[in-house]
Structure 1
Amino acid sequence: MRRTPAVLGVAAVVVTGLAPAAGAETVTTADTIHTVTLVTGDRVVVQDVGGRQTATVVPRPGSSGDFVNQRIDGDLYVMPATALPYLGSSLDRSLFDVSALIRDGITDQVPVQVTANAATANVPGVQDGKVTAESGAAFGAALAAQAGRDAKNHFADRGPLFGTVSQVRLAAPGAPQQVHPNFPMHTVRILTMNGANTPVDAALGVINTNDGRNFNAFPYSTAGEARVSVPAGDYGMVAWFPTFDSAGRVTSVRVVVQDIVVTSDQTVTIDGSKATSQITVSTPKPSNLTSESLEYFRSAQTMGSQGYGFGVGNGTAFVAPSAPAKVGGFHFNVLTHSESPAGTTTPYSYDLKIDNDGALAANQHYKVSADQVATLKESYYSDKPRQEGIARIIFLPYEVFGFGQFAPFGAPLQRTEYVLGSPDLVYSDALLASMTTGGGFTPGGFRNFAANTTTPIEWLRGPLAPGLSTPPAGTTSWLCSACRRDDTIRVTLVPVLDSNGHGLYLDPPATGTVSTSHFQLLSGGKALIDGKDVVGGEATAPAAQADYKIVYDQTRTAPWFHQSTVSHSEWTFGSAHSGAQTVPNGWLCDPITGKATDCSALPMVTASYQLKAGLDGNAPAGPDQVVVTFGHAPGGQNLPFQKADIQVSFDGGATWTPTFLADLGGGRYRAQWTNPASTTGGDVSLRVSATDVAGNSLTQSVTSAFSVPGAQS
């Protein structure tokens, strides 16, 4: 990527998935995943995997706002930008401390304490002292509306929240109190201005760049002033000056960074009017900016760091040129998502990330050439027309944290998406299948793309069925999904897999949404594991060779889809004491110790589907086919298959019709049949089975795997 005149690096990466249905006992994994509901009804999915941490926001239904993330070393805060002006006054910052909420086990509802100037205060979304995943949307909408109103007066006279509320606090331990160092302290008065004699609010970040343990915080300047008490030393400061529209959306932001040396009490002025360098990006083909995020990162010389990410949507962003940082590290990244003009015959998009290393340059125009990009041919399958979203989090080589927001689009859709190609850039995407309901979170894996290459990628191509996850090529550390270590059997299913290997997680049960499942591990007529709404577990097994069966039933219905609603899967396999390691080095088979000692993969059979249905999940009446590839759990031996069978049902599984089956070799089978024509059309169910030469087998049925539309009059 070129920034006139310098050359800069660019990248992209994404997040991983939501937990299974609410109330499910998820299996502990070495790659920890947490989903946290904020008081505003937005959800944050946090994953630690492979030394990186990623966080993706699933916005509340109806949300169109942008988000801010703040990081002090390992602690993460995530909040809608509309919350910023109220932090520390009407809103307790702990409400948005995602790391502390996870530590306190506050993931699906937020206990709050409300202080009001009326005997009975009506706080939107608060029910019996809690904000739930469903009620939080009302809190978030009311907060956005108030921010829109207060922005007209530049937040000079905020008044109480929602008319009567002076403060909303987290009714839980929350974030630990910052321990102040035992040093002589100096008061720094920070004045935030928009030109001479014009005080203005600003969100701040302040870190001691000698050692972040001395001071590291995010004060807010109210009415143009903030005060901090700090020890002597070198400090890095960032000030964000946002503007909002009447709906609480960010329309612009000005960013000023500057370093100071503190030796005594002093006053520092930060002038937002100096941010006059507008950030712009030009792409090889014409494109319109739809979302932009800015990321500030400052690291101390000895220990500690501070990160501050700010979503700007399609607003404008300006920065003030800065002098090179003298103490500690400095980065300022710009992440843009732009799309082809309306009416373009073949739609496309660009996702670009630009790094300012060491200082903010005066020239903030960036230019991308065609020979620098990689081409992704993306297909988004959708059995109902709906608004979906794609989040592309980007990791530059030095980054260990990535934050993602969803860019909406109408599905089904085929689109060309351009990203910068480089071995130093890591890409991983997440799909939100329903922006309306917040359902269908589908993570992707970490990937690299070379410039001038083309890669096809398919999302939610059916049938959607339970299965086992597979580590991406080149993975050196991975938690085995179906393994035995000594005499402990451990299995973790992915609730829903698409044909491209993406794992979709079940939506939390709600009005109109059903997410339920039943998992059993059986042997010798005894249930070793028998759990509702779980995707696996651990069980102690006899050392001697024995036969085992896993039965997994699942029902999933929601307003945003109508296919692949019910599945029944049965795995049979043999297993004995594992006294040697057969999985690759680096694989984790014990989530507690992180060891792979004496670990071997279970010989579970897997199935991968390739239907001929279109992007809308429909196939015409007449001849049809599916190619099914049978294999085995990752890390295990790929045994030959001795038999297979594929059947279809046109009456919801009441009766099954055999297909003409051709063995293509290597575990691949092609089944052919004829879809009947009718005036009303209907859904077609699919049932497959295969048995390898050792007797291990899989039988799996999927109700409404695809649809045949009615005949046109």
Structure 2
Amino acid sequence: MLGVAAAVVAGLAPTAQAAPVTSADSTHTVTLVTGDRVVVQDVGGRQTATVVPRPGSTGDFVNQRVDGDLYVIPATALPYLGTSLDRSLFDVSALIRDGITDQVPVQVAGAAPGVLDGKVTAESGAAFGAALAAQAGRDAKNHFATRGPLFGTANSVRLAAQGAPQQVHPNFPMHTVRVLTVNGANTTVDAALGLINTDDGRNFNAFPYSTAGEARASVPAGNYGLVAWFPTFDSAGQVTSVRVVVQDFVVSGDQVVSGDQTVTVDASKATSQITVSTPKPSNLISESLEYFRSAQAMGSQGYGFAVGNGTAYVAPSAPVKVGGFHFNVQTHSESPAGTANPYSYDLKIDNAGALGSNQHYKVTADQLATLKESYYSDKPGRQEGLARIIFLPYEVFGFGQFAPFTAPLQRTEYVLGGPELLYSDAVLASMTTGGGFTPGGLLQFAAKTTTPVEWLRGPLAPGLSVPPAGTTSWLCAACRRDDTMRVTLVPVLDSDGHALYLDAPTTGTVSTSHFQLLSGGKALIDAKDVTGGEVAVPGAQADYKIVYDQTRTAPWFHQSTVSHSEWTFGSAHSGAQTVPDGWVCDPSTGKATDCSALPLVTASYQLKAGLDGTAPAGPDQVVVTFGHAPGGTNLPFAKADVQVSFDGGATWTPTFLADLGGGHYRSQWTNPASTTGGDVSLRVSATDVAGNSLTQSVTSAFSVPGVQS
């Protein structure tokens, strides 16, 4: 989490020398008190936070970044922060530091739904989140003017842990600033605020909330930047609109200490509606607004607000004189319902220095890159989700929310192309259960190009992650440093190399595994529910074996349920660096001194199955590509084999195997009529010229569909 903290404080794109390490080890999943989950990752030197919403969530979230900490807050919680709801409940950075990731300890003055024995879990948190949304819907009817206890029973809900860091109290004269929030001259209204000293963010940087039309802050003299968000909610607690006003002001040092300075922010001035037009007709599905303000000396403030498909208005602003200013708009729109060949648009457009009065953006076809996306699903009609985080050049943090769709699906997705934009996509395989989180790395697309992308194409099997193109810093997944061996497998990889995270074991869901590293008949590592480890080994040349067994079942899939993988390889003392510069083999020092990649054999698959994971009875084939662990030498292969099983692995049938060269093999066989309505398992093996080998079997790799009436 230190990488997130450093990036948020700096507010600037990191240099190549300071880029955080990219690896699966830098991923954390945090459960919020509302039952929503947040997945925080380091991706290619940038940080992402992606919300996995609880079932029934409205999907409207804000993110706030200040003093090195990231807050992810459901919009329905905003009106209650600092009064009946503790902000620390949503400080994702602090929760990770304190190890509070799967359940939230809370102190309740009264009673609250979802709180069991002083804790909220991912399952019980859904009740808390639903009750909070209902409360916001009720209170919105009277503009939050007569709020009582939360849920009618709780005067306060606080985090029962250390939580957010203590605020610094500067040792210089302070002045009281009264921020009055109105909607027209005589109508007070609540607002969520962001306030930063633009001379130096260390002097003041906070997110006050205006209750009953007023917020107060004690600040030193200087220049200040203010953003005010004025949301409206429907009866379900969903955001229907938001008005945004930004303005700068100066707190004079000539004021007497006891004097107040009043700043009035008027929502009625936000009259410029944000709209986007696309080359082909499309309907707005979701819109996110991102405010970013950097101070002249040090520090920055970020405030993102997701408004779903509600309307958004901004007030034109004067160019800033102190510090930096950006306000960007990201939209996801889709083709009209019933379109024969569906498509979507994901766009992000920036306002730098000021907000203009014209907030209509027109995108042309020659600005766009085309992604031919295929979303596989072995369960028909599965509700999946896509979160597409787009980085502008000045951004080191990205926030994403999932837009739902029905899989299996083939869709043309248009994005803005160009070297200044970076994309970090993730798929949620089951929006219903929140299972199957699958990130896609950091990518760049040129305008007027076409790129095919496949998600969750089977068979899904364990393997090794590969650094994305252009990655400058990478924690090696299978390396030896001097006489220390370190291996970290990816529990599930799809055919396009996307890593899928295992679901947490719950009722109806099984996620178990067993990892062994053996040498000379001795187990160097023998552990359950891990994907690897680090161990000291003798310096002399020796033979090693990795055995990894995995079982995964859940309601949202039925294929690739059991896998068995065995790697054999030789290794000796590593006295020189053979991996690329910038790689890391020692997580404690962040260096790759005397580091070499282990010669583990890898396999990737291209089954001839449909989007639903089925292949008909009759002739069939798979193309298997064998290779080696990233950073290692790609040795030629001496032999390979592919077998299929029609009885769940009880017996195996050889296939006709053709060597296509370069580690590529085509295997052909016939699915008999007796397999109709059943599954087929797959087993592959390969040995290179040095004797390193892999044998891997996947139960229910694909299915043969039943007879249609």
Verify same fold: TM over 0.5. Answer: yes
Cα-to-partner distance string for 1:319-373 (whole Å, 9 max, x where unaligned) = 0000001100000010000000111110000000010000000000000000000
Contact 2:43/2:442 (CA < 8 Å) preserved in 1?
no
SS in 2 for 1:593: coil
Q: Is 1:335 matched up with 2:330? A: yes
Q: 1:149 to 1:232 in 2, by over 3 A?
A: same
Partner residue in 1 for 2:17: none
SS in 1 for 2:441: coil
Give how far 1:32 is off.
1.8
Give how far 1:47 is off.
1.6
Partner residue in 2 for 1:206: 195
SS in 2 for 1:517: strand
Partner residue in 2 for 1:319: 314
Q: Distance in 2 between matches of 1:136 and 1:71?
A: 24
Partner residue in 2 for 1:437: 433
Q: Distance in 2 between matches of 1:580 and 1:86?
A: 58
Q: Distance in 2 between matches of 1:624 and 1:30?
A: 35
Partner residue in 2 for 1:547: 543
Give how far 1:471 is off.
1.0
Q: 1:29 to 1:284 in 2, by over 3 A?
A: closer
Q: Is 1:156 matched up with 2:145? A: yes
Partner residue in 1 for 2:478: 482
Partner residue in 2 for 1:646: 642
Percent of residue pairs identical: 88
Partner residue in 1 for 2:373: 378
Contact 1:643/1:692 (CA < 8 Å) preserved in 2?
yes
Give how far 1:230 is off.
0.5
User: Partner amino acid for 1:107?
Assistant: T
Q: Distance in 2 between matches of 1:342 and 1:28?
A: 39
Cα-to-partner distance string for 1:152-190 (whole Å, 9 max, x where unaligned) = 111111211111110000000101121121111111111
Q: Distance in 2 between matches of 1:163 and 1:30?
A: 43
* Structure 1 unaligned residues grouped into runs of 5+: 1-12, 14-26
Cα-to-partner distance string for 1:552-592 (whole Å, 9 max, x where unaligned) = 00000000000000000000000000011111111111111
Contact 1:428/1:447 (CA < 8 Å) preserved in 2?
yes
SS in 2 for 1:148: helix
Runs of 4+ aligned structure 1 residues displaced above 3 Å come to: 27-31
SS in 2 for 1:422: coil
Partner residue in 2 for 1:562: 558
Q: Distance in 2 between matches of 1:31 and 1:464?
A: 21
Partner residue in 2 for 1:40: 34
Q: Is 1:193 matched up with 2:182? A: yes
Q: Distance in 2 between matches of 1:211 and 1:246?
A: 41
Q: 1:49 to 1:712 in 2, by over 3 A?
A: closer
Taking only aligned residues, the RMSD between alpha carbons, in angstroms, comes to 1.3
Q: Distance in 1 between matches of 2:390 and 2:349?
A: 10
Q: Is 1:398 matched up with 2:408? A: no
Contact 1:29/1:591 (CA < 8 Å) preserved in 2?
no
Q: 1:309 to 1:617 in 2, by over 3 A?
A: same
Give how far 1:194 is off.
0.6
Contact 1:68/1:311 (CA < 8 Å) preserved in 2?
yes
Q: Distance in 2 between matches of 1:186 and 1:74?
A: 25
Contact 1:28/1:591 (CA < 8 Å) preserved in 2?
no
Partner residue in 1 for 2:617: 621
User: Partner amino acid for 1:557?
Assistant: T
Give how far 1:679 is off.
8.4
Q: Distance in 2 between matches of 1:536 and 1:168?
A: 39
Q: Distance in 1 between matches of 2:603 and 2:22?
A: 25
Cα-to-partner distance string for 1:586-620 (whole Å, 9 max, x where unaligned) = 11111111111110110000000000000000101
User: Partner amino acid for 1:104?
Assistant: D
Of residues 64, 70, 95 in structure 2, which corresponds to 1:70? Answer: 64
User: Partner amino acid for 2:297?
Assistant: T
Partner residue in 1 for 2:169: 180
Partner residue in 2 for 1:270: 265
User: Partner amino acid for 2:367?
Assistant: Q
User: Partner amino acid for 2:284?
Assistant: L
Give how far 1:298 is off.
0.4
Q: Is 1:242 matched up with 2:235? A: no
Range with bigger deviation, 702-711 or 60-69: 60-69
SS in 1 for 2:77: helix
Partner residue in 2 for 1:351: 346
Q: Distance in 2 between matches of 1:151 and 1:482?
A: 54
* Structure 2 unaligned residues grouped into runs of 5+: 1-12, 14-20
- Give the total of aligned pairs: 683
Contact 1:210/1:233 (CA < 8 Å) preserved in 2?
yes
Cα-to-partner distance string for 1:39-63 (whole Å, 9 max, x where unaligned) = 0011111123443111111111221
Contact 1:642/1:691 (CA < 8 Å) preserved in 2?
yes
SS in 2 for 1:140: helix
Kindly report which structure 2 residues correspond to 1:212-611, keeping only aligned pairs within 5 A, or say none: 212-263=201-252, 264=255, 265-385=260-380, 386-611=382-607
SS in 2 for 1:553: strand
Of residues 52, 56, 60 in structure 1, which corresponds to 2:54? Answer: 60
Q: Distance in 2 between matches of 1:420 and 1:679?
A: 46
SS in 1 for 2:177: strand
Q: Distance in 2 between matches of 1:64 and 1:259?
A: 33
Contact 1:42/1:136 (CA < 8 Å) preserved in 2?
yes
Q: Distance in 2 between matches of 1:153 and 1:560?
A: 41
Cα-to-partner distance string for 1:42-90 (whole Å, 9 max, x where unaligned) = 1111123443111111111221231000001421000110000000011
Q: Is 1:135 matched up with 2:130? A: no
SS in 2 for 1:83: helix
Contact 1:678/1:710 (CA < 8 Å) preserved in 2?
no
Of residues 63, 88, 98 in structure 2, which corresponds to 1:94? Answer: 88
Partner residue in 2 for 1:22: none
Q: Distance in 2 between matches of 1:178 and 1:111?
A: 22
Q: Distance in 2 between matches of 1:328 and 1:704?
A: 58
Q: Distance in 2 between matches of 1:70 and 1:671?
A: 52
Partner residue in 2 for 1:682: 678
Give how far 1:678 is off.
4.1
Contact 1:113/1:171 (CA < 8 Å) preserved in 2?
yes
Give how far 1:479 is off.
1.0
Q: Distance in 2 between matches of 1:573 and 1:543?
A: 15
Contact 2:22/2:474 (CA < 8 Å) preserved in 1?
no
Range with bigger deviation, 526-535 or 672-681: 672-681
